[in-house]
Amino acid sequence: MGKDYSIGIDLGGTNLRVALVSRDGLVVDRTKVSSSGDLMASLTSAIQSLFNSGAGGIGLAVPGLVDAKRQRILRAPNLSILETIDVSSKLTARFGVPVFLENDANSAALGEMYSGAGKELDTFVLLTLGTGIGGAVIYKRKLLDVAGELGHIVVEANGRQCGCGARGCLEAYCSSRAIVEITREAMDSGRPTSLGLLGSPVELAGATGGCHSLQAITPKIIHEHSLRGDTLATEVLKQAGWYLGIGIANYINVFSPEAVVLTGGLTGAWDVYVKEAIRSASERAFKTLFQKAGIIRGIHGDNAGVIGAASMAFLQGSVES
């Protein structure tokens, strides 16, 4: 009898998301536990709650640098305990199945390739648009085994300071963190905006009409204000999208992908942020390459990482057919 399921785990700094995934790439069951406390104990019990006799492998999506060949976690800044534990050996010993490790953005790309937006594609670039910007490249149905720091290509020489230490990175202009920072800077300089003065649209619709604290401003709120006609909110999102388009044009010109697959919370602002990115990319990428490359949304959303992690067991043939 073959094994028809695999366990996929997305190791986040806040939560561990664990899913039982079927061979056709669907999440059959899932659970979420906090990553604080005894990580191995939480992980083991979460896996145990979903593990069944049909599960033939465990895959982990790791927020950091992974030596996938040797199955070691080299660096995980947001979950550094992982650097000191041999997770792979411990889980193999406990559950008696092969364990696979992969970087989280790589896992998301594998998930979209396995059963999502990239199912029918040979070559695509995936970007995760969130607090930071990550990404991965699937080249001819294989994960390109490179550093893949797609958020740290330079789109503005001598530009904004990036968390990586360099200046002008894509991430310093179009991540959630950057969008909020740029908005705050504009507000601090006295630019008029409904963000600071009028409260959220919810408050406007209701009765309270209070002010946002600056800490409470999120890209989602900025997008809501943009939709209600706030000039600053629209400008900030469009500028972020404009830079994103420069990045996308670079990826298109280098990899000639069939698609650039966008995932992450910022895709919620598709009508302003991504639309501007597509326009900006169209002006910069080689025309024939741009026409070939669709700029599309990922299908799996938050599940891409767990599906991709689980898919490694299927893709590497460790799960018998």
* Least distance from Zn ion to the Cβ atom of residue 173, Å: 10
Please say which residue, 4 or 156, places its beta carbon nearer to Zn ion.
156
Please say which residue, 152 or 212, places its beta carbon nearer to Zn ion.
152
* Least distance from Zn ion to the Cβ atom of residue 132, Å: 9
* Least distance from Zn ion to the Cβ atom of residue 77, Å: 14
* Least distance from Zn ion to the Cβ atom of residue 102, Å: 22
* Least distance from Zn ion to the Cβ atom of residue 181, Å: 14
* Least distance from Zn ion to the Cβ atom of residue 155, Å: 10
Q: Give me the residue label for tokens 């695999």.
A: 6
Please say which residue, 27 or 65, places its beta carbon nearer to Zn ion.
65
Q: Which residues of 8-46 are buried (b: 16+ CB within 10 A; e: fewer)?
A: bbbbbeeebbbbbbbbebebeeeeebebeeebeebbbeb
DSSP state of 211: P
Count helices and strands in the chain by DSSP H and E runs: 12, 12
CA distance to 167, 169, 212, per residue, from 185 (Å): 17, 18, 15
To 5 degrees, how large is the angle CA 310–CA 307–CA 32?
95
Q: Which of 263, 261, 259, 260 is nearest to 301 (CA)?
A: 263
Binding site for Zn ion (CB under 5 A): 152, 162, 164, 166, 169
Please say which residue, 59 or 148, places its beta carbon nearer to Zn ion.
148
Please say which residue, 60 or 170, places its beta carbon nearer to Zn ion.
170
CA distance to 137, 150, 212, 306, per residue, from 217 (Å): 32, 26, 7, 29
Q: Give me the residue label for tokens 């073959």.
A: 2
